[in-house]
Amino acid sequence: MDVSLFEALRLALRRLSVNKLRTALTALGVIIGVAAVVALLGVGDGARTQLTQGVASLGTNLVSVQAGAATTGGVRGAAGTATTLTTDDATAIGGLPGVSAFAPEVSTNALVVRGQSNTTTTVTGTTAAESQVRGYTLQVGTFMSSLLEYDRKLPVAVLGPTTVTDLGLTPASAVGSSVKINGIPFTVIGVTQPKGGGGINPDDYVLVPLTTAADRLVAGGTLRSVSLSVSDPSVTTFVSAEITALLRQRHGIAGTAQDDFSIVSQDQLLAVADQQASIISNFLIGIAAIALLIGGIGIANTMLVAVRERTREIGTRKAIGARQRDLRLQFLVEAVLVTIGGAIVGAVIGAIATSLVGRAINVSAHASLTGVGIAVAAARRGGHPGRLLAGPAGRPARPGRGPPARMTSSQQGEKRPCPSHP
């Protein structure tokens, strides 16, 4: 007697519906595993995208040259603390082939006060080219100009949108107002557009003319860094090598002596951010894969128990003509239904969890079709132990392993003569 796939499906559904609680508990491991994979892939992709956008928002084809680290009392400071970069170095860098714009920078943390509100933020002294190098655009007002603010050392400032909010202002009301930076009055001439992004807030800053910062806020005549924009991403490596050769020559560094500066490109930052996001994402997916494996083992255990409990049914079906492959097909269909059903439910729960987790950690995350496909495929592979252990369904029960046979009523009433009394 051949059993069609449709008949096996009907019998499997009826059998699974008899033990609803067992079926649900069996599928629970797959549901949790698939939901975890879908959610982790969605949140991981969202975090990677946000990191990439955050690095990209730092500038256009950005390369940053930072002064070396100063050593005080045997303690090495951060990059940019040494006095090894000058405005003449910046001008020389700006003349290299492949450099489309450059902006010398000095920076310090300062207290900014407006009325009763105040905030501590980074104040950067720079030139008008900063807007091109860093990709700043204005909401309202104007940016610094070389002919007026830079050359005349005027106390003017351009605020980031977060700084405006922290001071209790709006972009419109901020322009023309006066703020005090370390007690020195500055007039706000513009407010930039928000960039957003993860990690350190890229919208919390104050920009002032380089000459004003050097004269009133930052002691010394050296630079902390020089930011520049290359004409094309393909020449980043070439420009970095040219800068290294130029500064080593200008600073008198010969032979194998260590550079007194460092160069970081936007491509390097993107590569590091992507690598870190991939490591974290792969680690979490590995944990979710373990949950899928546990779900598969649970299905295997349940199917094995089901086979042992249904030896009488197996024997009856074989007695009326069912073949070994027919019996194996029924148990295989039951394992597949539990696995695929759990995967579908887990994918739906994972999609919902992705959105909720993304909102909780402030990451734009959503379940992707790729993530759902990977999770469902992994669930199918995770269900293989259950399908393999369904094989015993077609094997005959060993003697003494099956349940004891019951005597019929006619057998119980039948009297047998005693051998010792004929």
Tens digit of pLDDT for each residue in 54-108?
Answer: 766 666 688 999 987 654 444 445 554 567 899 999 999 999 999 999 999 999 9
* Per-residue pLDDT at 130: 92
* Per-residue pLDDT at 270: 76
pLDDT band at residue 400 under the 50/70/90 scheme? very low
Encoded tokens for 108? 């310090």
Domain boundaries, the chain: 5-53+271-394, 62-231
* Per-residue pLDDT at 409: 47
| Alpha carbons 125 and 105: distance in angstroms, whole number | 6
**By the 8 A CB rule, do 299 and 26 touch?**
yes
Looking at the predicted structure, is the pLDDT value of residue 382 above 80? Answer: no
* Per-residue pLDDT at 396: 46
Strand-pair partners of 226: 65, 104
Looking at the predicted structure, is the pLDDT value of residue 225 above 80? Answer: yes
Looking at the predicted structure, is the pLDDT value of residue 169 above 50? Answer: yes
* Per-residue pLDDT at 140: 95
Tens digit of pLDDT for each residue in 116-136?
Answer: 999 999 999 999 999 999 889
| Alpha carbons 388 and 301: distance in angstroms, whole number | 11
Q: Are strands 75-79 and 69-72 parallel, antiparallel or unpaired?
A: antiparallel
Tens digit of pLDDT for each residue in 229-260?
Answer: 998 888 988 999 999 999 999 999 888 888 88
* Per-residue pLDDT at 328: 77
CA distances to 6, 117, 239, 329, 395 from 325, rounded to whole Å, are 15, 80, 70, 6, 10
Higher pLDDT, residue 162 or 272 = 162
* Per-residue pLDDT at 168: 94
pLDDT band at residue 187 under the 50/70/90 scheme? very high
Cα Rg, the chain, nearest whole Å: 36
| Alpha carbons 217 and 230: distance in angstroms, whole number | 30
Looking at the predicted structure, is the pLDDT value of residue 17 above 70? Answer: yes
* Per-residue pLDDT at 202: 84
pLDDT band at residue 361 under the 50/70/90 scheme? confident
Can you give the length of the chain in residues?
Answer: 422
Residue 59 backbone dihedrals phi, psi, to 5 degrees: 170, -175
Q: What is the mean pLDDT of residues 175-186?
A: 95
Looking at the predicted structure, is the pLDDT value of residue 387 above 80? Answer: no
Mean pLDDT of the residues in the chain: 79
* Per-residue pLDDT at 82: 62
